[in-house]
């Protein structure tokens, strides 16, 4: 019963490098989300996808791109990493109704030097 | 637009009660509550919907005042396992696109 799986769990990058964070869910959910979590800031939505083939910006989309590859997978790409993007990144999935919970992956801890 | 949570932190002894508040400046359709332990993913606790419907764990109670755009989470007879950071997430449009508050750190001591 995997739920939401994120890879990698940890990553260190140098400024300017690119990287893709992977997320997959096996709960047949329509909606998927990417959040970043910084100390004292809570969870902030980067991008979300309400269904396969659609994506939309969240609160803090600058510097990121996403791809909803299929219903199961939603990836987050940093094209040119910056130290300000050092954070813990969480992927979540859920049904596209406000009366349904979101299920979170274990997170990716990303450091950019 | 980010909802405001209060208090920012609270320390309890086992068996004591606590209330965590979440307040939004926008009209709300639903409020979600999650708990996160250090180094782990957030875990769903409860959803409160406009109109009074609730969904969540039996041992946790919460309220949602639609007119005041506020929600409160009630933790009674606290246990050590209740320790963690509690987040509210608000949805203004029934889309399940949540805006989370900055969290309330709860520490329960023996």
Q: Which of B68, B72, B77, B54 is nearest to B5 (CA)?
A: B72
Residue B41: the pLDDT is: 95
B96 contacts in A (CB within 8 Å)? Answer: 31, 94-98, 100, 102
Terminus-to-terminus CA distance in chain A, angstroms? 35
B47 contacts in A (CB within 8 Å)? Answer: 98-101
The per-residue pLDDT string of chain B (110 residues; one tens digit each, 9 = 90 and over) reads 789 999 999 999 999 999 999 999 988 889 999 999 999 999 999 999 887 777 776 678 899 998 999 999 999 889 999 999 999 999 887 677 899 999 999 999 99
pLDDT at A79 over 80: yes
- Whether A106 sits inside 8 A of B32 (CB atoms) is no
What is the C-alpha R_g of chain B? Answer: 13
- Whether B95 sits inside 8 A of A96 (CB atoms) is yes
Dihedrals phi, psi of A88, to nearest 5 degrees: -105, 125
Calculate the CA A44 to chain-centre distance. 10
pLDDT digits (tens, 9 = 90+) for A17-59: 999 999 999 999 999 999 999 987 889 999 999 998 899 999 9
Q: CA-CA distance, B1 to A100, in Å (whole number)?
A: 22
Helices (H) and strands (E) in chain A, counts: 0, 11
- By Cβ distance, the residue of A33, A43, A98 closest to B30 is A98
pLDDT grade for A95, boundaries at 50, 70 and 90: confident
- Whether B98 sits inside 8 A of A102 (CB atoms) is yes
Shortest Cα distance from B30 to chain A (angstroms)? 7
- Return the DSSP state at A73: B
The B residues from 51 to 80 touching A (CB cutoff 8 Å) are 53, 55
Q: Does B32 touch chain A (CB under 8 A)?
A: yes
Dihedral sign (CA A72, A62, A111, B96) = negative
């Amino acid at each position: 019963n995997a739920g939401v799986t994120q890879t990698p769990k940890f990553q260190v990058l140098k400024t300017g490098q690119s990287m893709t964070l992977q997320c997959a869910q096996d709960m047949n959910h329509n909606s998927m989300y990417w959040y970043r979590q910084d100390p004292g800031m809570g969870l902030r939505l980067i991008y979300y996808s309400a269904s396969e083939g659609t994506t939309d910006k969240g609160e803090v989309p600058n510097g990121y791109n996403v791809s909803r590859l299929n219903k199961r997978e939603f990836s987050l790409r940093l094209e040119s990493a910056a130290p300000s993007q050092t954070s813990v990144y969480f992927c979540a999935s859920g049904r596209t109704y406000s009366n349904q919970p979101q299920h979170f992956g274990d997170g990716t801890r990303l450091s950019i030097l | 637009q980010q909802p405001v949570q209060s208090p920012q932190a609270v320390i309890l002894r086992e068996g004591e009660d606590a209330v965590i508040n979440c307040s939004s400046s926008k009209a709300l359709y639903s409020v979600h509550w999650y708990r996160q332990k250090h180094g782990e993913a957030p875990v769903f606790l409860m959803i409160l919907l406009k109109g009074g419907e609730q969904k969540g764990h039996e041992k946790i109670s919460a309220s949602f005042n639609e007119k005041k755009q506020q929600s409160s989470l009630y933790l009674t007879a606290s246990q050590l396992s209740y320790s963690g950071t509690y987040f509210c997430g608000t949805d203004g449009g029934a889309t399940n696109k949540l805006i989370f508050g900055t969290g309330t750190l709860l520490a329960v001591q023996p």
